[in-house]
Structure 1
C-alpha cells in the first residue's frame, strides 16, 4: 500500500508541475480532447476538392466505423471560394460547389457529423483565393450562417508588418461575435512560436511546417516528414492541454508515401502527442491496413485521454527512442520508437517513465491488442525498422 500511495503522489505532482498555467486556454468550451476528423488537403489539394467528394466522405465516415471511433469533423481546406461580391461577401466556387456551402454543411450535419472550412489571415489564401484580412467579422458571420463548426485559418499572403498574434485575435473575436461555437485552428506553421501566445486565442495551432508524405524527408527530397516533426514537437509539450493543442499537421496515413509500419508509427506518435487526428486520405476507398490503423480504438483512447497531457521523449540512444505520456488513470502510454534502418531491441525502465523500478505493472501491447503480463522494473521489445511498439503500462 505504501508503494501504491507513493506512485499516486508522484503522479499527482507530475500533473501539477507539467500542466499549463491556468487561464491560458481559449474558453469557448470546445476541443476538450483533441479534435478528430478529416481534412481534404493532403489527398485532394486544390484541384480535386468538390461537393461530391465532401458528401462521399461524410457518407463513408458515418458508415465505415470512423464516426463510432470518434471522428467528427469533415473539413474543406483551400479552394472553395473564388472572390467577393459588391458588398464584400465571400463568393463560393459554383463549379466545385454548385449547391453552395450551406447545403454541404447541412448534408454533413445530417450524418451526425460536424463541418469545417478554411480561410487565410492574409489578402489571399495559399491557393490564391480571397483571404479574410479586413473581412474577419463579415466572414465569421457568413460561416455561422452556413453552419460551420470548425475554422482553419492559414498564414499566406500577409502584408508587411502583419502580426500573427494580433491577426488571429481578431478572428477569434469575430468568431465569438458570430454567436456560433466554432473551433478555431491557427495555421501559421509554427513560424512565430504560437505555443507561447496562442493558448487564449485558438483551440489548436500548427507547431510545425506542412507535413509531407514520407518518413524522413531530409533523406529523400526535403520537407517535414514524420521524423522531422517528431523533433519539432519535442520540448513544447507543457503548452498543450484541454481546449488548446499543439498541432503537428494532418495525418498522411493511407496516402501511399509510407509503408504500413511507418504509418502505424506515425499514427501512434500523433496519439502520444495528444494531437488533433485529422485523416487526410481517401477514406471511401482506403485499404484494410489503413482502416485498421485509423480505427485502432486503443490507440485513439491514448490520444483522447481526459488528462490531455502531451507525451514527451524521455530517452534517446541514437535512432532508438522512448516516448511517454501520462494518462488520467495513473497509467502511462509508452512508444518504443525505432528510427533506424534495421530492427532493434528497445528497453524501457520504469524509472524512465516516472515509476520506481520495484513496481509491478501490467503491460498491454496496443497494436497486438493483447496483454503481455505483469512486469517489474521495465519492459523490452523487438521493434521493426521505422516502427513502433506502443504499450500501456498500468501499476
Structure 2
C-alpha cells in the first residue's frame, strides 16, 4: 500500500478541495485564472537583491513545490550562509559590487534553478517591496497578537513563497518614550516589540513599523516630535513639535531589527531628509516608504532620499469614485500615474497605495472588497505594470481561494519584480480600452489592455500604434492563464475584454 508523507497528504487534500470548489465556483465564488503550482520546485521572486555595505543580508528564497525542499547556491560568498531546509540567506558583505549566484531547489518531484544577483551598494529595494500592512484590515485596533497571527497566516497561506515578505504595523502601536535611545516604545497592546520582531524574522519574514514627524499621528498616537525632551505633547494635532526624535527612533527601530518604515504626513523634503539621514546612520537596511500625497515637483528629491513615496491620497475599495475628498478609487489612482513614470527605477518606486483585494475593514468590521472579480484582476495587473509596491491590506486569516490565486500568479508577479524596474505608461487607446506597455529586462514587453467601459469590448491589435511595440510580434502569452496564445495573428486576432477587466500579455518581438 502506498504510504504518503505529510506534505503529499496536504497536497492531495488541497487538490481535492480545489476540484470541489471549481465545480461549484460558478455559483459561489469567482473563478481563479491562475493555474495550480506544480509539485516540483519553482523559484519565485526577484532576480536581484540590494544591500548596503556592512548591513545584514536577509533574504528568504521564495519557492513553491511540495516540501521538504533542499536549497543550494552556487558561487555563494564565504561571508554568507544558506539554510538548506528553509532557503534563508544570511550574513554580511562589506565589499561593494555584484555577486552573481545560482539558486537551486530540489524535492522528490524535480529541481529548479534561477540566476540571482546580490548587489552591494547604496541602493536597496531593487524591486518593489511586497508584503502586508495592517491599516486597511484593522485600522488602529492592531495588537501584538494580531500582528503575530498575520505573520503566521502569511506563511500558512503560501504567500511568503511567492515573494510577499513584509509584515508592517501601521498606526496604533505607539506608546511613550523610554529606554536606552529615548525612542517610542510599544503601548499596552504591544508589550514586547523586540519579541514580536524576532517572531516575524523566525518565520522568514521582515518587520515594518509606522511613524510620522508630527507630534501625533493621524490616529492620535504619539509621533516623532514633541514639545519637551522627554516626549510630551500638549494636544493631539497634526503639527511638528519643537524637538525632533528622528535619530532616537531610528536607533530604536534598528535595535529591534525593523526592516521597513512607513513615514506618514503630507510629504515634504525637509523632514524626509532628516529621517533618511537618521536611518542611514545605523548599520541596518530599513526600507524608507513615504506617505502620503507626494508632490510631482519633489519627485526627484524623494528618489535621492527614500525607497518609495505615495503619489496619492488614500485608496478605497471602489472602482470609479472615491468615498470622500481624501479617498480615491482604484481607477482614479491607477490610470493617473503616467506623469510619475520617469522617477521609477530600481531602488526608487512610485507608490499608488495598498492593494484593496480580499477582506477589508479599516478596523470596525471585516468585509469582502467591493471590487468585482474583473476589477480585482485589473487592480493587480495595473499595480504590477506600474512597478508599484505590492502591499496587501486585507485580513490574511480570511483569504479565499480566489484571492490566493489572484496574489500567487508568479508570471504576473514577475512583471512587477522585473529587474529592469521600468514603470508602464499608457501608449494608446481604442475607445474605452487603454493600452499600457512595460519593457522587461529580457527584451520582451508586458502589454495590458484595460477596458474602462461598463460593457464588454472587443478590440483588434492590428494597429501597432495602440501599444507601441516595435518590430514583428513573434510570440504572445496570456499571463493570468499562463498559456501561450497559439497561432496568434496580429492582423486578424481579436481580444474581448469584460467591463472593468483586463487582458495581460507578455509579448516578444523581432526587428
Q: Residue 194 of structure 1 contacts residue 205 of structure 1 at CA under 8 Å; is this kept in 2?
A: no
Structure 2 match to 1:104: 196
Q: 1:188 aligns with which of 274, 283, 292?
A: 292
- Which of 170, 177, 183 matches 1:77? 170
Aligned equivalents of 1:383, 1:221: Cα separation in 2: 30
The answer to whether residue 405 in structure 2 is matched with residue 283 in structure 1 is no
Q: What is the alpha-carbon distance in structure 2 between the residues aligned to residue 355 and residue 142 of structure 1?
A: 49
Change (3 A) 1:303 1:317: same
Q: Distance in 2 between matches of 1:65 and 1:350?
A: 39
CA 1:326/1:356 → structure 2, altered by over 3 Å: closer, same or farther? closer
Match of 2:339, SS state, is coil
Q: In 1, distance between residues paired with 2:157 and 2:249?
A: 33
Does the Cα contact within 8 Å between 2:428 and 2:465 map onto a contact in 1? no
Are 2:429 and 2:466, in contact at CA under 8 Å, matched by a contact in 1? no
Q: Is the 8 A contact 1:34 1:304 kept in 2?
A: yes
Structure number with greater Rg is: 2
| Distance in 2, Cα, partners of 1:168 & 1:383 | 42
Question: Shift in Å at residue 376 of structure 1?
Answer: 4.9
**Corresponding residue for 2:17?**
none
Q: How many residues align?
A: 359
Structure 1 residues 338 and 354: CA distance shift in structure 2, 3 A: closer
In the alignment, the residues of structure 2 paired with residue 283 and residue 346 of structure 1 have an alpha-carbon distance, to the nearest angstrom, of 37
Q: Quick one: distance in 2 between partners of 1:335 and 1:82?
A: 45
Q: Secondary structure at the match of 2:273?
A: helix
SS of residue matched to 2:420: coil
Aligned with 1:296 (options 401, 406, 409): 409
Conserved 8 A contact 1:344-1:385: yes
1:333 aligns with 2:446: yes
Larger helix share, 1 or 2: 1
Tell me, yes or no, if the aligned pair for 2:296 and 2:340 is still in contact at 8 Å.
no
Task: String of CA shifts for 1:308-335, please: whole Å, max 9, x gaps.
Answer: 0000011134432111111011111111
CA RMSD of aligned residues (A): 2.0
Aligned equivalents of 1:316, 1:252: Cα separation in 2: 26
How big is the shift at 1:67? 1.1
Quick one: higher RCO (CA 8 Å, sep 6+), 1 or 2?
Answer: 1
Q: Which deviates more from structure 2 when the two are superposed, residues 369-378 or residues 133-142?
A: 369-378
Question: Does 1:362 pair with 2:475?
Answer: yes
Report the equivalent of 2:501: 387
Tell whether the 8 Å contact from 2:334 to 2:383 is kept in structure 1 after alignment.
no
How many angstroms does 1:62 deviate by?
1.7
Counterpart of 2:83 in structure 1 is none
Structure 1: runs of 5+ lacking an equivalent = 1-26, 157-162
Given the alignment of the two structures, is residue 41 of structure 1 paired with residue 145 of structure 2, yes or no? Answer: no
Displacement, 1:164?
Answer: 1.0
Provide the residue aligned with 1:125 in structure 2: 217
1:208 to 1:164, Cα distance in 2 relative to 1, 3 A: same
Query: How far 1:377 moved relative to its partner?
Result: 4.0
Higher strand share: 2
Provide the rounded CA distance (Å) in 1 between the counterparts of 2:401 and 2:373: 11
Partner of 2:126: 32
Compared CA separation, residues 360 and 89, structure 1 to 2 (3 A): closer
In structure 1, what is the equivalent of residue 84 of structure 2?
none
**Which of 340, 344, 347 is 1:236 aligned to?**
340
5+ long unaligned stretches in structure 2: 1-120, 226-243, 360-368
Q: 1:322 aligns with which of 427, 432, 435?
A: 435
Matches within 5 A, 1:124-273: 124-133=216-225, 134-155=244-265, 164-191=268-295, 193-218=297-322, 223-255=327-359, 256-273=369-386
Output the TM-score relative to the length of structure 2. 0.67
> 69-78 or 28-37: which moved more?
28-37
Return the alpha-carbon distance in structure 2 between the equivalents of residues 298 and 153 of structure 1.
31
Q: TM-score, normalised by structure 1?
A: 0.86
Quick one: structure 1 residues 76 and 320, their matched pair in 2 at CA, closer, same or farther if it must change by over 3 Å? same
1: CA distance, partners of 2:299 / 2:335: 15
Q: CA deviation at 1:235?
A: 2.2
Within 1, Cα distance between the matches of 2:476 and 2:264?
41
